[in-house]
Amino acid sequence: MRTKLTPIIFYGVTFISMIAFIRASRRWPELIQHISKSEELDPSFDFKLKKKCNITLLLVLVLAILEHIFSIRSAYSAAQICYPDTGFYEGFVRYLYPWVFDFLPYSAALGMVTQFLNIQSHFIWNFTDLFVICMSYYLTSRLDLVNKKLLPAQGKYLPEIFWRTTRETYCRATKLVRKVDEIINGILFISFANNLFFVCVQLFNTFDDSVDMVGLCYNYSERRTKPVGSEPVIYLLFSLGFLISRSIAVSLIASQVNLASTVPAPILYDVPSAVYCVEVQRFLEQVNGDNVALTGLQFFSVTRGLLLSVAGTIVTYELVMVQFNQAPASDSFTEKIVENNISTIETFYNYS
Amino acid sequence: METTKQPIGLSNQLEALNFKALLSDNSINLNRNRKHIKSTTRGNFREQILRKVQNRISPETIQEDSKIPLTCQFQLFQTAMKHLLISGQFMGLNPVSRISDHNPTKIRFTVFSWKFVYGVIIGIAQACATVLCFCKLLKDSVNIVALAYFAFYLSTGCNTFIFLRVASKWPTLIKHVYETQLDSYIDVKVKNKCFAAYIIFFSMSMTEHMLSLLSRFVITMDCLPKGSDLFESYIIRNFPWLFEFDVPYYLPVGIILQFLTLVSTINWSYSDLFIVCMSIYLTSILKQINKKIEMAGNSNHLPIPFWRTLREDYTRATRLVRSFDDTISSVIFLSFASNLFFICLQLYNILSNGVTSKYNLLKEMCPNYPSGPLGGYEQIMYLLFSLSFLLGRSLVVSLVAAKVHSASMVPASALYNIPRNMYCSEIQRFLDQVHGDKVALSGLRFFYVTRSLVLSVAGTIVTYELVLLQFSNED
């Protein structure tokens, strides 16, 4: 059942992501106009931003292509066992997409179309995270513009006009964050929900199935086949590692926006009393009172604490799910206990 | 008049420091009921201030004197942390050269010192042990003992590498401690408290190690086949992650493995001790400021510059806390994470398997049972001592580190009680700062160590235990 549920959720979520991107693209021109006005008022000389975005893009896409290659290798070796008597491409496509070929007759064109759709969906999955990461880089760099101006001013005697202009720059930067958030919060929500679901499912598959059951054929005629070699294991572990590191990267980079907005506070506390004015007070009240962060459809704010609570949620769900799966009479668990005890007794008596 | 004999620059400095040093020096007899404080800056006050200023300006004179009066924060820090830091360096942790020197310019972090190389070697050894334990975990099914070994070497290996990073930031931190102008808030009891904490943690950690050695040797002795070497069979039994991969046994290998275990066990509780000492130091500064605010609140009238100075001192103290946090937050994160994991694991082990584990049952079938000094109860004693030490350690670290946050919130209640005729814009600014700023040690900014964190961690542990125990009920 689990193997049938995962593709439904996967394609459903990519469909919803497409809708979210269409919604975002409708408001994209007004966002660009706002950004251009804001950049005109506060020109930025951050040349590293472009390099950072390009490197992240390259890294994520290369790893995604690698994962796709591993999946094809593992499907190929499994198809040879599950469908030994059909042609090479037919067996391969039948193994990968049973939800199409159990109902429709096989043709090479249909196989290629399905494979293309699958590649598209995987790309959308990775692209959502990449989009959130690059927007967070940009917003962090805008907030850092203010911080870079403030850091040399710590403890110094500067006139009121300096504090006023810095405060107005900070206001514009937070307004930009809020505007971007309005437009991309649906995408961010989908990205987090998707990552949470798939990390839970993949971790559960890894714990529960134990790697020698990978390669089970869907038509159940080859139940508990002989081991298919190391390709499915590599694919499973690589896919899980890639998913977890991508989720952590999105959380950490998106929470940088919140961190960068809290940097002015200590500097403002250090303003000497001789130059303390109403502008500094206003600035301080804004920094302390305003919650500047990207949100997920306004349900949650992406901060560092969120990553911790998501991790706790995943661990709790894993423990509960693994326990549910072992509640009916499962021989493998008790077999393992007996084996374990026997091996312990053996090691007591044999030291060689 | 003395001022005519001194050079111009020094007298200007004296003028600037006069008022501040006068108000904050406890040894100068200040009559707080006097309205015109500025007029009492003559005569013997200048002598005392001059001596204090000279002590602070010339560090070269300080290092020659071994019985140094503690007149600045930097010296207090160095004397209080001396034992802690040097014993850490014996385990390859925090390899900063000349770490206890009283001259801050001599403290440096270099990659090519033997301390750094020693730390890296220990870290690599622990990393190798982690990888081998992970391979063993994959080979056998997931059982508690293999998981415990893996997590133990993983957390101590990460600890060693994190302390290397701390060492690279240490000179900057020391510089900040030296330059922070909080010399009027010295509490000499910090030295005694840190030393007491050091003695307690180390003695309990050594006791735990001795008990673990004892229980393992006894098990080996119980089931020793006739005519084989005790040490060899002990090493092979207790490091299965190495010897199951057909590595031949040599005596030096055994000694190295035993040394690695000793270092890792002390490493495990060292980071908790480190956090406790740093928290004690930071809390002492904040508490002294709080005392001064309280005393000031009880007096009749104090001028605005007094409150300004107090607020600036509070700001400097919070800046010091933030600077410490930047350096040691990764240590706090790893300490909390590994404590949480090991408490869950040990509690599950005891609650599901009971204190008399299957080892005890099998031991009774061994030829030499019982051969230990405690008559068969060594394993139980070690288990119980280890669990209670772990629980006690986690609780102490959480509570002591949470004191930093609690101490930073105390000024608010004193400031609320300021009478109407003393209230000024400085006090308003001070109140806004106490309300708005979150001054606490954090774990890589993921969580802030406050008292409520202790409660939520306890709740998490109980939840996980209840869920995990369902596993064992189905057997």
Min Cα distance A101 → chain B (Å) is 36
Please check whether residue A351 lies inside any domain of the structure. Answer: no
Q: Kindly report the average pLDDT of chain B as a whole number.
A: 82
Min Cα distance B43 → chain A (Å) is 30
Please check whether residue A264 lies inside any domain of the structure. Answer: yes
The number of beta carbons lying within 10 Å of the beta carbon of residue B215 is: 22
With bands split at pLDDT 50, 70 and 90, how would you rate the model's confidence at A228?
low
Q: Catalogue the E-assigned strands of B237-328.
A: none
DSSP bridge pairs for B443: B447
Q: Which residue out of A335, A336, A348 would a mutagenesis test of the B interface target, given it has the greatest number of B Cβ atoms within 10 Å? A: A348
Global pTM? 0.79
> What tens digit of pLDDT does each residue of B209-239 get?
999 888 888 888 877 777 777 788 888 888 8
* Beta carbons of B464 and A348 less than 8 Å apart: no
Task: Give the separation between CA B388 and CA B54, rounded to whole angstroms.
Answer: 50
A352 touches chain B (CB under 8 A): no
Task: Give the separation between CA B84 and CA B94, rounded to whole angstroms.
Answer: 11
* Whether the predicted pLDDT of A349 surpasses 80: no
Name the residue facing A351 among B141, B236, B464 (closest C-beta): B236
> Of the candidates B378, B53, B18, B370, which has an alpha carbon nearest to the alpha carbon of residue B216?
B378
Task: Give residues with Cβ within 8 angstroms of A38, minimum separation 6.
Answer: A142, A172, A173, A175, A176
In this prediction, residue B181 carries a pLDDT of 87
In this prediction, residue A99 carries a pLDDT of 79
Which residue of chain B is at minimal alpha-carbon distance from A308? B446
By the 8 A CB rule, do A200 and A314 touch? yes
| DSSP per residue, B325-389 | HHHHHHHHHHHHHHHHHHHHHHHHHHHHH-SS-HHHHHHTTSTT-S-STTTT-HHHHHHHHHHHH
Please check whether residue A326 lies inside any domain of the structure. Answer: no
Q: What is the mean pLDDT of residues A70-76?
A: 86
> Of the candidates A256, A194, A179, which has an alpha carbon nearest to the alpha carbon of residue A24?
A179
Q: Which residue out of B309, B353, B429 would a mutagenesis test of the A interface target, given it has the greatest number of A Cβ atoms within 10 Å? A: B429
End-to-end CA distance of chain A: 46
Task: Give the separation between CA A151 and CA A139, rounded to whole angstroms.
Answer: 19
Task: Give the separation between CA A352 and CA A339, rounded to whole angstroms.
Answer: 20
Please check whether residue A309 lies inside any domain of the structure. Answer: no
- Packed helices B304-353 and B425-436: angle between N→C axes, nearest 10 degrees: 10
User: Within 13 Å and on the Cβ side, how many CA atoms surround B465?
Assistant: 18
Please give the structure tokens belonging to residue B385: 């001592």
Please give the structure tokens belonging to residue B303: 């001028």
Task: Give the separation between CA A313 and CA A321, rounded to whole angstroms.
Answer: 12
Residue written as tokens 């007094």?
Answer: B306
In this prediction, residue B447 carries a pLDDT of 94
The number of beta carbons lying within 10 Å of the beta carbon of residue B404 is: 25
Min Cα distance A18 → chain B (Å) is 32
Quick one: which H or E segment has residue B130? helix B114-139
CA distances from B30 to B66, B156, B218, B378, B466 (A): 31, 53, 68, 63, 62
A313 touches chain B (CB under 8 A): no
* Beta carbons of B475 and A344 less than 8 Å apart: no
* Whether the predicted pLDDT of A211 surpasses 70: no
Question: Which residues of chain B neighbour A305 with C-beta distances below 8 Å?
Answer: 446-447
> Of the candidates B125, B169, B208, B177, which has an alpha carbon nearest to the alpha carbon of residue B386?
B208
A304 touches chain B (CB under 8 A): yes
Interfacial residues of B (vs A; Cβ cutoff 8 Å) = 140-141, 143, 223, 225, 228, 233, 236-237, 240, 308, 315, 318-319, 322, 358, 362, 366, 425-426, 429, 432-433, 435-437, 444-447, 460, 463-464, 467-468, 470-471, 474-475
- Packed helices B451-473 and B378-409: angle between N→C axes, nearest 10 degrees: 150
Domains identified in chain A, total number = 1
Task: Give the separation between CA B312 and CA B181, rounded to whole angstroms.
Answer: 10
Name the residue facing A266 among B308, B319, B463 (closest C-beta): B319
Task: Give the separation between CA B329 and CA B279, rounded to whole angstroms.
Answer: 12
A326 touches chain B (CB under 8 A): yes
A317 touches chain B (CB under 8 A): no
In which domain, by residue range, is A38 found? 2-302
With bands split at pLDDT 50, 70 and 90, how would you rate the model's confidence at A351?
very low
Task: Give the separation between CA B68 and CA A177, rounded to whole angstroms.
Answer: 54
Q: What is the mean pLDDT of residues A42-59?
A: 91
Give the ranges where chain A is alpha helix by DSSP (H): 2-26, 28-41, 48-82, 88-96, 98-101, 108-150, 160-209, 231-261, 264-269, 278-289, 304-326, 331-349
Please check whether residue A96 lies inside any domain of the structure. Answer: yes
In this prediction, residue A66 carries a pLDDT of 93
Please check whether residue A352 lies inside any domain of the structure. Answer: no
* Beta carbons of A323 and B467 less than 8 Å apart: yes
Which residue of chain A is at minimal alpha-carbon distance from B223? A348
In this prediction, residue A174 carries a pLDDT of 93
Min Cα distance B471 → chain A (Å) is 6
In this prediction, residue B29 carries a pLDDT of 43
Please give the structure tokens belonging to residue A171: 């206001």
* Beta carbons of B141 and A336 less than 8 Å apart: yes
> What tens digit of pLDDT does each residue of A9-23 get?
899 999 999 999 999
* Beta carbons of B141 and A276 less than 8 Å apart: no
Please check whether residue A344 lies inside any domain of the structure. Answer: no
By the 8 A CB rule, do B117 and B126 touch? no
Residue stretches of chain B with pLDDT short of 50: 1-6, 21, 23, 27-42, 58-66, 475
Please check whether residue A47 lies inside any domain of the structure. Answer: yes
Residue written as tokens 């894993």?
Answer: A318
Give the ranges where B354-450 is alpha helix by DSSP (H): 358-363, 378-409, 411-416, 425-436
> Of the candidates B240, B460, B440, which has an alpha carbon nearest to the alpha carbon of residue B339?
B460
Q: Kindly report the average pLDDT of chain A as a whole number.
A: 84
Name the residue facing A276 among B225, B322, B429 (closest C-beta): B429
In this prediction, residue B167 carries a pLDDT of 92
In this prediction, residue B272 carries a pLDDT of 95
Q: Is the C-alpha dihedral spanning A97, A98, A102, A103 positive or negative?
A: negative
With bands split at pLDDT 50, 70 and 90, how would you rate the model's confidence at A183?
very high
Q: Which of A155-164, A203-212, A261-270, B297-306 has the lowest mean pLDDT?
A: A203-212
Question: Which residues of chain B neighbour A281 with C-beta distances below 8 Å?
Answer: 429, 432
